[in-house]
Amino acid sequence: MDKLSKFALCTAVPAVAAVPASAADKADKPREDGRPNIIFILMDDAGLGDFGCYGQTKTETPNIDALAERGIRFTDMYTAAPVSSPSRACLLTGVHSGHSQIRDNEEAGEGDPRVWNYDEIYMDPTIEGQYPLKAGTPTLGSVMQQAGYRTGMVGKWGVGGPANESKPWTMGFDFYYGCICQRMAHNYYAPYMWHNDSKEYINKEVVNPGTPLDKGADARDIHSYDKYSAGKVYSPDVMFDNVIKFVDENAERPFFLMWTTPLPHSPLQAPKEWVDKYVAKFGDEEPLAGDMFHLNVCPHNYYPCRYPHATYAAMIGYFDHQVGELVKELKRLGIYDNTVIIFTSDNGPANNASSPTVWFDSAQPFRCGKGWGKRSLYEGGIRMPFIASWPAKMQKGGSVSNHIGDFTDIMPTICEISGIEAPATDGISLVPLLTGKAKKQRQHEFLYWEFPSRGGILAVRWGKWKGLVQNVNKGNRTMELYDLTTPSKEVEDFRNNVAHKHPDIIERMWGFIRASHVPAEHAPFNIKYEANE
């Protein structure tokens, strides 16, 4: 589609709200107080078991593993939601899904058949992006601006769009580079990146998701796939360039950077040299191609792929390499020791033809596959890899923590690190753990989740217990109860449901639910919850 010059002229870009002068002035001051930099790395659809330090053996992740060896590897940390947009909304605001403005994925132009057609998105910015946060909502970005930090985000946004009030540059980030819309983020040869409020065109010709191989093409011939990527710019490459640029430009002042890579979310696309590495390791395999692809109908297969397993591993291995390069740059600049690095993923592994996560056992030690990972409140959908590194405060490193926490903890943690008071959240600061004072670490009484899709699901974690209520929207009020003491693929098997043995615990769980659920203002996000009466 050779239309980008025309679209560049036609696409309207909304006016940009200025960064408050006080925040900008503070951010421009040289570092004087020794406060650490903070880098929050968020992968997309990576599972607990996708990394060597969590048991992965097929994909190599030496640099992420090294973060764990130097820092703290958490075993019981959770996302706030099992899909992207609400997970990010909760992360940015510090509230759980029972209080969040956003509780499910919802596309800008929801229901509009044009939303997967890139031609249409270029022409109409109202169908780019997702349901927005309200203007003025405190976010990780805005609170760090108030703390005097220079703030940046590189990667996927997913909680607003260019035609609504929720954009990175209006929600607390001095610098943004990436894909505002998650649909655009999930083509790694995207037409453009947003550079703050302007589009930066990186690929002239772009293929719509769902486009099959050419008629009569040999699915085993690697060149049959050239039209999807040959000669094009791989968007994670330019994202990483901007990660390094932001770090270099702000090395002399305290900065907060969110690196929200789209990897390894579908589709299966990776640089050739990384795919070749894993083809050599795994051998030949069946291509992802054929009748499941239909023009302009996404959402699960996206694009054909010659080597699905090798490409998924390549996406993670490639990103791991970038993490290593970032650490090298921090060391070169002399700021590594006083930089907090937090690494995690937004939700559990997907299960579709473009996410071969069962083959990789990506949710290990929990079950992975349809209904068990992403879009579920089973452990495989919400238990996350979570690593924290702060060399200046972690002289020993290499520890493992079974502290039970979730994304709501990030807001109070970074606020305490930066020396400001946090806005009201559902979280608890992790600073005692990060600074070697684990005995002083506060604990959550419980964690809570609600998810309006898939029939409506509620979940509670209370100590070793996990309560789960499915099909809430269909009137079910029967809670399943599982003992999570021994993580395994069978831990949430219905045969291990012990609800009938512990009516007192079930009653307590319902009390937690009643205390946590507040009706959503946006009707489609409302779970049809009623107290267990």
Question: Over the stretch 357-402, which tens digit does the pLDDT of each residue have?
Answer: 999 999 999 999 999 999 999 999 999 999 999 999 987 778 999 9
Q: What pLDDT does 530 receive? A: 60
Q: What pLDDT does 353 receive? A: 87
Burial group, residue 436, by CB count within 10 angstroms (0-12, 13-18, 19+): middle
- The string of pLDDT tens digits covering residues 495-508 is 999 999 999 999 99
- The string of pLDDT tens digits covering residues 265-280 is 999 999 999 999 999 9
Q: What pLDDT does 123 receive? A: 86
- The string of pLDDT tens digits covering residues 249-259 is 999 999 999 99
Dihedral over alpha carbons 88, 267, 342, 128 (to 10 degrees)? -30
DSSP string, 258-319: EEE--TTSSS----HHHHHHHHHHH-----B-STT-BTTB-SS--S-BS-HHHHHHHHHHHH
- Confidence check: pLDDT of 520 > 50: yes
- The string of pLDDT tens digits covering residues 440-459 is 999 999 999 999 999 999 99
- Give per-residue burial for 64-96: e unless 16+ CB within 10 Å, then b: bbbbbebbbbbbbbbbbbbbbbbbbbbbbbbbb
Give the model's confidence band at 2: pLDDT under 50 very low, under 70 low, under 90 confident, else very high: very low
3-state secondary structure of 91: helix
How many other β-carbons are positioned within 10 Å of the β-carbon of residue 350? 25
Work out the percent of the chain whose per-residue pLDDT is above 70. 91
Q: Which residues contact 215 (CB under 8 A, 6 or more apart)?
A: none
Token readout for 312 is: 């998924």
Beta partners for residue 199, in sequence order? 194
Q: What number is the average pLDDT over the span 484-502?
A: 96
Ramachandran bin of 337, using left for φ above 0, alpha for ψ from -120 to 50, beta for the remaining angles: alpha
List the one residue out of 469, 505, 485 whose CA is nearest residue 75.
485
- Confidence check: pLDDT of 24 > 70: no
Q: What pLDDT does 257 receive? A: 99
Say if CB 236 and CB 261 are below 8 A apart: yes
Q: How far is CA 161 from CA 117, 157, 171, 359, 476, in A?
A: 16, 9, 12, 35, 36
Give 3-state DSSP helix, strand, coil % of the chain, rounded to 5.
30, 15, 50
- Confidence check: pLDDT of 296 > 70: no
Say if CB 73 and CB 401 are below 8 A apart: yes
Token readout for 273 is: 């040299």
Q: What number is the average pLDDT over the span 85-92?
A: 98
Q: Strands, E, within 366-462: which ranges?
A: 383-389, 399-401, 405-406, 447-451, 457-462
Q: What number is the average pLDDT over the span 513-528?
A: 95
Topology (CATH) of 445-533: Arylsulfatase, C-terminal domain (3.30.1120)
Q: What pLDDT does 32 receive? A: 60
List the one residue out of 155, 126, 137 whose CA is nearest residue 42.
155
Q: What pLDDT does 300 receive? A: 55
Q: What pLDDT does 532 receive? A: 45
- Confidence check: pLDDT of 316 > 70: yes
Question: Which has the minimum average pLDDT: 68-77, 208-217, 241-250, 326-335?
Answer: 208-217
Q: What pLDDT does 293 receive? A: 53
Write down the domain spans for the chain: 38-440, 445-533
Q: How far is CA 29 from CA 22, 107, 183, 243, 317, in A?
A: 11, 39, 37, 21, 37
d(CA 407, CA 389): 17
Dihedral sign, CA of 393, 95, 344, 143? negative
Higher-confidence residue of 123 and 178: namely 178
Q: What pLDDT does 297 receive? A: 46
**Which class would CATH give 38-440?**
alpha beta
DSSP state of 63: H
Token readout for 401 is: 């923590």
Q: What number is the average pLDDT over the span 284-307?
A: 74
d(CA 476, CA 522): 23
Give the model's confidence band at 467: pLDDT under 50 very low, under 70 low, under 90 confident, else very high: very high
Work out the percent of the chain whose per-residue pLDDT is above 90. 84
Q: Which residues contact 32 (CB under 8 A, 6 or more apart)?
A: none
Tell me which amino acid residue 245 is. K
Say if CB 208 and CB 117 are below 8 A apart: yes
Residue with tokens 């970074």: 414
